[in-house]
Structures are given as C-alpha cells and as structure tokens.
Structure 1
Amino acid sequence: MPDAFTTHVLHVASGSVERIVDLTDDCQAFLAQVSGDRDGLLNIFVPHATAGIAVIETGAGSDDDLLAALHSLLPADDRWQHRHGSPGHGRDHVLPAIVPPHATLPVVGGRLELGTWQSVCLVDTNKDSPERKVRLSFLAGS
C-alpha cells in the first residue's frame, strides 16, 4: 500500500517574462504515481516570495486577464519600497498576498476533483527568477 503522505518537487522553467504556467497535468501525473486511486488532499506550494498558485480557467483568455488585473492592482513602477531587481520588482513581493503561494485541493479516486474549466496554475510575475520549484504533497485519507 502506498504511503499516507508523499511529496515531490517540480522544477518549472517560468522564463524571463510574466507567466501563468498550467500545472494540472503535472499534478495528475503525480497523483497517478502515488495515490493508489485513494481519496485525499493534494497541497500545491511554491516556496518563493514572488509567486503564487491559482485555480483558474486557462486557454480562453482568463490567464491573460489575470495578468492584466495584477498589472492594474500591482503596477510595475517605482512606487514600491522593495527596490532590488528589475524596475517594479517590489510588486512581485506583494503578489503572494493576492495570489497565495499554496492551494489544497480534494482528490477523489486518485484524481483531482476540479471543475470542468479549472486548472492548477503557477502565477509568476517575477522576471528576475526564471526557475521555480513547486512542491506537490498528497495526503491520503484513512
């Protein structure tokens, strides 16, 4: 029988542009390996001070809309106290207060229980850090 708790780190090349990276297939592949078709919870965590995890629709413009909304809320200009890195980088450090660095999602029968149009995504506005780690942790129910 598989372990009740299993974890794995994804290495994501988010590049040098603001991006939303769909992690849904990576999450499903992880669950296929470790869940044993059990119910439980999947926690997705990005251990970075300038990135977040969102559950959103992708591919129909919603990912671009989210980036546009973040630009409106958190402009990349010189207003920020945190000033190292590229211009406006201080806003990247505020991002996790709006898009949290984690999500915990239900797993039923070894599969993510997502809505029809929902995807698990890394939200990365930090152009200074092209590589990200994302920790996937599955906790099986008893």
Structure 2
Amino acid sequence: ALDTCIFAQQFNTIAEMHGLGCCYLGTTTYTAPEIAKVLNLPKRVIPLVTLTVGYPEGDAPVSDRIPIEGIIHEEAYHDYTVEDIRDIYAEKEAREDSRKFIEENGKTTLAQVFTDVRYPRENNERFSKIYYDFIRENFLME
C-alpha cells in the first residue's frame, strides 16, 4: 500500500513537471467495489488511489489549503485545542468564499461545515465499512 501511494505521488509530480494537471479523488475507498468492477480487478487487488490526469485549460486557481501547522506534527502527535483550530482556519475562514460557504450551510465555522455537513461521522463510518468489507471479501481464501 505504501509503495502504491509513493508511486502515485511520484507520478503526480512528474506529470505536473510536464505540464499536466492532476487531482487525487477522495472517493476511492468508498467506491472501491465499483472501481474494481469497472476495471475487472481480480481478487486481492484493491484500489488505493485514484488520480485524474489531463491538460489544464489555462491556469487554475491555487487551492486554499489549511496551513502546514494543521497537518504536520513535530516529534509526536498532539491533539488540537479549540484555539489551535481557530488559528489554523482563521485565514481560510476570512475569505469571502468561505464566509459564504459557512453561511449557506447554517454554521458559524468552516470546521463545523466540514465535520457536520461535508464529512459527518456517520458518513465516514459508512465509507470505512464499505472499504473494510470490500477488502475483507477480496482477501478471503477460496
């Protein structure tokens, strides 16, 4: 699995160096059964990464990501405090498009939109179960 992810990222980097645009799809895990069917994958071959590749139509805007402090932990993992989360999302929440997104979803913060609306726990658990069941079914001995 790690080699697959490393290869995908190397492919992504090289493709972008040659003028191609790439986008990882976050749907791979919960659409793995459909991907396997479409690609006619044999048992024990599990989709891990879906990467779209193509020539961009002009310059795309840079995606607004949270700062690196919201992703990387030095030496050991530490949980985020409410203040940490506010600081991490402050710049992103100040954007006009983000304020509109928050308002449209009836929330007060982006974190609430992502945890309550876009990626609620029940969806994450359902998607995890789909992937878990798919892997389990594909690795059962015949």
TM-score with structure 2 setting the length: 0.22
More strand per residue: 1
More helix per residue: 2
TM-score with structure 1 setting the length: 0.22
